[in-house]
Amino acid sequence: MPSLDELLQQRTVYRGRQLAPPAPVRPSGFAPLDRVLGGGLPAVGVNRLQSPTGIGELRLLLPYLLAEPTRGKLLVFINPPGRPYPDFWYNAGVDLSDVQVLHTTDTKQALWSAEQCLQSGCCLSVLLWQNNLEVSQLKRLQLAAIEGGASLWWLQPPRRENISLPLHLSLLLQASSIGIQATITKRKGGWATAPITLDWRERWPEQTIAPLPANVRPLPSKRRRA
């Protein structure tokens, strides 16, 4: 029977108060999120973003993707819902020659490509748009990500069911008029949290709506006939 100290050394037992995440992190660029996540988003491993398309899920990742000098590592988009618009990424500070987009209709090929990119060691992050992934597939991707020191961000539309999946981090994103609302639904070595609202009014002023003063009431919108 090994003692508790031995188990702790073998990292088979975690202390409840232990906030330091097991994986190395990179600052997310948003202080409230970093505080909860113990320093930032995981730099290595498989993570999930559950989000409708267009509420700012990529803008949430931008500071994280640009956090460290990437030394010409690739940023791979697999089956994005549209092609990356060059002006946006240029303005954000991404070197366009480091962005690679892959389109394939075959799920198997998409996963194969993700695996190859992750374990190649020349990719910083792989963003994979995919409706569903199985546990075995995620485990394979997890191994590939650790081998290549890369992170996979799996973007998925929000789902009701909640099966435990081998993820480092799972975030549920919701739209908010002043920015975005992130809920940690799963975190390795940490706890799920209540929604955290990130205020983007300074960073992305065009994509936020100033809240109306309390004395202004919007007129009820005209109902359209179907």
Partner 1 sequence: MLWLYLHFPALQLDSLPATGQPRAIACNRRHVLVQINRAAQAEGLQLDMGLGLASSLCRNLEVHPYQDDFAPRRLQELAQRLYLVSADIMLFNPDGLLLKASPMLRYYHGLKHYWASLQHELLGERVQACGATDTQPLAARALARAGIECIGGDRQPPRWHALALAHSDLPGKAINQLQRIGVSNLGELVRLPLTELADRLDKTSIDYVQKLTGRKVYPTRFFTPAARFTRYRELECEADTTAPLMAPLARCLNALEDFLQTRDHVTATLTLQLLRRDRPAIHLKINAAQGERRAHTWQQLIELKLASLTLDAPVYAFRISAAQSYPRAKLVEDLFNAQTGQLERAELLSLLEAKLGPDALLQPSLNNDHRPEQRASCAGNRLTGDSGTPMQQRPSLLLDTPKATAEPLSIIHGPERITTGWWDQAPVMRDYYIARNRAGCWLWVYRPLQRSGSDRNWYIHGYFS
Structural Rg of the chain based on CA atoms: 19
Tell me the angle at which helices 135-148 and 107-120 cross, rounded to the nearest 10 degrees.
Answer: 30
Given 130, 174, 183, 185, the residue binding partner 1 (CB under 8 A): 174
Q: How far apart are CA 48 and CA 216, in angstroms?
A: 39
- If the CB atoms of residues 126 and 190 are measured against partner 1, the closer one turns out to be 126
107 contributes a contact to partner 1 by CB under 8 A: no
- If the CB atoms of residues 18 and 104 are measured against partner 1, the closer one turns out to be 104
Beta carbon of residue 79, minimum distance to partner 1 (angstroms, whole number): 10
- Report residue 115: phi and psi, to 5°: -65, -45
Ramachandran quadrant class, 175 (left: phi over 0; alpha: psi -120 to 50; beta: rest): beta
Given 8, 66, 67, 74, the residue binding partner 1 (CB under 8 A): 74
104 contributes a contact to partner 1 by CB under 8 A: yes
Return the structure tokens found at 59.
């803008």
In the window 111-140, what residues touch partner 1 (CB under 8 A)?
A: 112-113, 116-117, 119-123
Instruction: State the DSSP code for 56.
Output: S
- Among the listed residues 107, 112, 105, the one whose alpha carbon sits nearest the alpha carbon of residue 126: 112
196 contributes a contact to partner 1 by CB under 8 A: no
In the window 7-46, what residues touch partner 1 (CB under 8 A)?
A: none
Residue ranges that bind partner 1, judged by CB under 8 A:
52-59, 72, 74, 80-91, 96-97, 99-104, 109, 112-113, 116-117, 119-123, 147-149, 174-177, 206-207, 209, 221, 224
